[in-house]
Amino acid sequence: MGSSEHIDQVVTGQPQRFTQDLEIVKTLCNHYGQALVGDTYPGTPPDPTDLGLFAEFETAAKLLGYPEWPAPWRILIMTRSRGIKLGDVTRKEIEDLSDLAPIEQAEVVATLASHSDPAFWINGSSTSESRAIAETIDLVFSDDQKTLLKLIANDSEVEGILRLHIELEPISTSTDKNNQGETIADLIKKMIAQAHELR
């Protein structure tokens, strides 16, 4: 049995047992978020069991004061299930990020950046899941209205925190590079530059 199946076996049926521990909640938001985006064929409904478990830990993260943990996955899940374009519901999810504190908004953007290359977060090689996630992030950022980039463009504090994130956060200062020779910090800088074009 793989680690993913083992997690599902332990959590299913008693998810409430795991909703008070910060690290467990963060891990399970990522686990079910990645599974839902990576295993959902574009334009089809996500697995209802996994979606229910994700929602459980999404609520837990918000109650614990960390809404930025599930937020990027919720955007990607909604986008993936809609297929080839962002729907109004997905766009509203992105616009609702403006309700988060700037540091939380910046964390959402940084999480998306760190998953936008399928080889970054799995030791330099990609899988079908990581490629599906990267493909979905591309769809979010290529949307005509560039809703997410406008979030950075409209808030200089978010940009400032992202720049600090590049300097201080281990994931952003990683020397790992994608096939284009870019680090995660490079990707975040590129996003900031794209946001500047919208000002």
Q: pLDDT by residue (tens digit) across 161-175?
A: 777 656 654 444 445
Task: Say which residues have a Cβ less than 8 Å from residue 199's Cβ, sequence separation at least 6.
Answer: 153
Angle subtended at Cα 149 by Cα 145 and Cα 150, rounded to the nearest 5 degrees: 70
Work out the number of other CB atoms within 10 angstroms of the CB of residue 28: 25
pLDDT for 3 equals 57
pLDDT for 83 equals 63
List the one residue out of 110, 112, 113 whose CA is nearest residue 102: 110
* Span 75-87, pLDDT tens digits: 899 888 876 555 6
Q: How far separated are the first and last CA of the chain, in Å rounded? A: 51
pLDDT for 126 equals 74
- Predicted confidence band of residue 67 (pLDDT cuts 50, 70, 90): very high
List the one residue out of 5, 61, 53 whose CA is nearest residue 33: 53
Q: Which amino acid is at 135?
A: E
pLDDT for 2 equals 46
Average pLDDT over residues 111-137: 77
